[in-house]
Amino acid sequence: MKYTGAAAATASFPAIAAPGSPGERVRLALVGCGGRGTGLATSFAGRDDVELTHVCDLFDARLEAAGKAIAGRQGGKVPRKLKRVEELLEASDLDGVIVGTPDHWHAPLAIMACQAGKDVYVEKPFSH
């Protein structure tokens, strides 16, 4: 099941956030730098048409770990680290947001990102 979910996430990504032209890169941010969020972000960062520009979490250790993991997948480019999602959503150099927070934060953060004009990647729990 673990591998199926990761495969489905990366397989569906091109349809969700395909760049407008061959040279254009989609600029994404990760909100929630735990294991699942960082895993998703590093998968996306490994694509040639994606750049992870920001990471956002309340915990410094998670910000550092996610930033390092993402930089390792995108040629050493370290994403900007933020603690406040409001500041993140004001960024003009950002196309979309990956919501990797605990489940109860998925809807509020997805709504905030949409209201800020950002595209959103968010997962729905299979069961609880």
- Domains of the chain plus CATH, in order, are 25-122 (3.40.50.720)
Q: Contact 124/8 with Cβ under 8 angstroms?
A: no
Q: Contact 17/54 with Cβ under 8 angstroms?
A: no
pTM over 0.95? The answer is no
Strand (E) or helix (H) holding 121: strand 119-122
Strand (E) or helix (H) holding 97: strand 96-99
Q: What is the DSSP letter of 51?
A: E
What are the pLDDT digits (tens) for 9-67? 555 555 455 555 656 899 999 999 999 999 999 999 999 999 999 999 999 999 999 99
Exposed/middle/buried for 55, CB within 10 Å: 0-12, 13-18, 19+?
buried
